[in-house]
Amino acid sequence: MFVRGIRGATTVEHNEANEILQATGELLQAIVEANDFRPEDIASVFITVTADITAIFPAVAIRSLVGWELVPLMCSLEVPVAGALPKCIRLMVQVNTTKTQAEINHIYLKEAKALRPDIVKLTNEAAR
């Protein structure tokens, strides 16, 4: 068994708590479905946000899910690079798995698809 990192990112239009929570939950759900794991398989989740997201910790969305209460979560600020995608939430889900690196599906939603068009293309092709 290995610990594999699963990347994901999404964006919000507004710095509003409900929108941040909804986007975070949607991203996590997409990662879970694309990779077929359970909360007890998770070693930890590292969450970063851009500096323009301040209304709520995205971890609140994950912590409220049934079965995710004991999963270690950590929030942090993304490196403030000039011209970076604004209002972006990123997840690094570290999962205990027997899957190979090539079998991991990274998920990019909304405007965050522009961050890794190569991965978005591979994910879309695999879904067909």
The residues annotated with a catalytic role in the active site are 7, 63, 75, 78, 90, 108, 116
Q: With beta carbons less than 8 A apart as the criterion, state whether 61 and 28 touch.
A: yes
Q: What is the DSSP letter of 13?
A: S
Closest alpha carbon to 43 in 73, 67, 66 = 73
Query: Helices in 16-81 by DSSP H: which ranges?
Result: 17-35, 59-63
CA neighbor of 121 nearest in space, from 103, 104, 102, 108? 108
